[in-house]
């Protein structure tokens, strides 16, 4: 397993090209299951999770190709409608095949994801919605089996907003008979992006990006024709945190600052400067950050996917910060690693209290999940001395060539290959 050796404390300056969003690309790849034909998807990030999704679709009989950020999928000959345990356990987003498969073929077998490094993460709301649309759901040997002749449009109200749940049911509803209304839907920009792609395929969707989505089912859809996915707001936010903590001056190109309003507002309060222009978003870190509190919330609130990186910033801020994680119950795996670098953090239930220290010190540390790994990169870049982050395959799941992007802005980063 590869590691990343980082010598911290260097001033970072330059340009970063933001990649397409992982969490938009994954559902859009599964949307290709809704109809046979050749689909072309553009601005797809080069990530381990994208390759895993490619393997999953190929396992079902799709022809998958990734070249220079373009994915081609030929989905005319789907044989197995099964998402096997081995693939689902490495990537929970595999569950996104469920809606499209049931909608197009009338059945699907998907391994139940189970818990993961950040929490229990059930899929009961995905299943509740499909049942309301007329699917018969059974659980056999750890697999969910969903079966329906043709799904029927209905009104579905989510107990809480779920991102992949909203995406699964929105895709399923595209081919259902009649109109489906999703209430208390998740409002993340990736959902609006998926809806835009589905509309280009011929789907009739209104309200995506808001909490009520109305989908009028159609009989057939067209293949995806060169749809370019939205920029990755979490990669953007992570580079913002890097500029913030290193007193850096970065120009983030090709990003969507309007998808990061809550993060930008909070970082401004901590002393970070933002300048938006046609060239991109310039982010300038202060000499020392000021501690501020955050509470994660569904979009448009402060994203849980930025909690760990913000915490890394707060470890060296002036003052004390209270961080409340409200989306996932176990998303503090980075805390023990940050403590190894000298951070002063205590956890009490869902709250973390971070007392800023003058400096972090480099140390050997372990990546435990995707965003926890990103927070360790942020911390290592500002720490005094050398850090080695082990198990960075977690980082490779969600960040497109992060080590190369960091080297281009002056960071001293070396990938140590295990092979
Ligand atoms: N939930 C349920 N039942 C369900 C579905 C969700 O109780 O059927 C709960 C979850 O346990 C959680 C909350 O609802 O407490 C929200 O979870 P959500 O379903 O929105 O999360 P997700 O769809 O599994 C996506 C992203 C995550 C991101 C979350 C929250 C993708 C592929 N994944 O997960 O991204 O953290 O939304 O914004 O879009 C990441 O990229 O690192 C990542 C984990």
pLDDT for 385 equals 97
Pocket of ligand 1 (CB under 6 A): 23, 26, 92-93, 119, 121-126, 160, 162-165, 186, 304-305, 327-328, 370-371, 398
Kindly report the three-state secondary structure assignment for every residue of 360-419: CECCEEECCCHHHHHHHHHHHHHCECEEEEECCHHHHHHCCCHHHHHHHCCCEEEEECCC
Over residues 163-184, mean pLDDT: 98
Tell me how far the alpha carbon of residue 121 lies from the centroid of ligand 1, in angstroms.
7
Tell me how far the alpha carbon of residue 163 lies from the centroid of ligand 1, in angstroms.
6
Over residues 308-329, mean pLDDT: 97
H helical segments located in 175-232: 189-200
Query: Does residue 120 surpass a pLDDT of 80?
Result: no
Phi, psi values for residue 352, rounded to 5°: -120, 135
pLDDT for 194 equals 98
Over residues 25-50, mean pLDDT: 98
Domains defined along the chain, listed by start: 3-19+231-416 (3.65.10.10), 22-228 (3.65.10.10)
The ligand 1 atom nearest the CA atom of 93: 32
pLDDT for 376 equals 98
Strand, coil or helix: what is 221? Answer: coil
pLDDT in tens, 323-349: 999 999 889 999 999 999 999 999 998
Tell me how far the alpha carbon of residue 9 lies from the centroid of ligand 1, in angstroms.
34
Rounded Cα distance between 183 and 181, Å, is: 6
pLDDT for 279 equals 96
Atom 27, ligand 1: which residue's CA is nearest? 305
Position 172 confidence tier, pLDDT thresholds 50, 70, 90:
very high
The mean of the pLDDT values for the chain is 96
Atom 36, ligand 1: which residue's CA is nearest? 305
* pTM (predicted TM-score): 0.98
Three-point CA angle 152, 158, 161, nearest 5°: 130
pLDDT in tens, 65-93: 999 999 999 999 999 999 999 999 999 99
Position 285 confidence tier, pLDDT thresholds 50, 70, 90:
very high
382 is catalytic: no
Tell me how far the alpha carbon of residue 328 lies from the centroid of ligand 1, in angstroms.
8
Position 115 confidence tier, pLDDT thresholds 50, 70, 90:
low
- The tokens for 14 are 């330059």
Position 113 confidence tier, pLDDT thresholds 50, 70, 90:
confident
% of the chain surpassing 90 pLDDT: 94
């Amino acid at each position: 397993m590869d590691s990343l050796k980082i010598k911290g404390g260097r001033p970072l300056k330059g340009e970063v090209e933001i990649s397409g969003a992982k969490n938009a690309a994954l559902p859009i790849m599964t949307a290709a299951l809704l109809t046979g034909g050749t689909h072309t998807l553009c601005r797809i990030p080069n990530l381990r999770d994208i390759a895993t999704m490619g393997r999953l679709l190929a396992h079902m009989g799709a022809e998958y190709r990734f070249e220079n950020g373009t994915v081609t999928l030929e989905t005319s000959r789907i044989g197995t409608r099964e998402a096997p345990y081995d693939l689902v356990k490495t990537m929970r987003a595999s569950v996104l095949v469920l809606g499209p498969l049931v909608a197009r073929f009338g059945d699907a077998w998907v391994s139940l994801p189970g818990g993961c490094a950040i929490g229990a993460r059930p899929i009961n709301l995905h299943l509740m919605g499909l049942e309301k649309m007329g699917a018969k759901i059974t659980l056999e040997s750890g697999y969910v089996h969903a079966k329906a002749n043709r799904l029927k449009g209905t009104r579905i109200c989510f107990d809480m907003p779920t991102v992949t749940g909203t995406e699964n049911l929105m895709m399923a509803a595209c081919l259902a008979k009649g109109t489906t209304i999703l209430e208390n839907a998740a409002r993340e920009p990736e959902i609006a992006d998926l809806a835009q792609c589905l509309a280009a395929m011929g789907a009739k969707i209104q309200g995506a990006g808001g909490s009520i989505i109305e989908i009028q089912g159609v009989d057939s859809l067209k293949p995806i024709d060169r749809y370019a996915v939205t920029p990755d707001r979490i990669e953007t936010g992570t580079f913002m945190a890097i500029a913030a903590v290193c007193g850096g001056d970065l120009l983030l190109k090709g990003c969507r600052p309007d998808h990061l309003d809550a993060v930008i507002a909070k970082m401004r309060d901590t002393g970070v400067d933002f300048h938006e222009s046609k060239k991109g978003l310039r982010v300038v870190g202060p000499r020392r950050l000021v501690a501020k509190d955050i509470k994660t919330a569904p979009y448009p609130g402060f994203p849980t996917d930025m909690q760990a990186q913000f915490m890394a910033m707060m470890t060296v801020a002036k003052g004390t910060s209270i961080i409340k994680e409200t989306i996932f119950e176990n998303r503090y795996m980075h805390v023990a690693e940050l403590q190894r670098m000298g951070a002063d953090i205590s956890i009490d239930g869902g709250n973390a209290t971070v007392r800023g220290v003058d400096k972090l010190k480099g140390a050997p540390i372990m990546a435990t999940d995707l965003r926890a790994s990103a927070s360790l990169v942020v911390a290592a870049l500002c720490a005094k001395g050398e850090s080695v982050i082990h198990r960075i395959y977690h980082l490779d799941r969600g960040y497109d060539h992060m080590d190369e992007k960091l080297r281009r802005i002056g960071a001293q980063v070396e990938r140590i290959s295990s092979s």
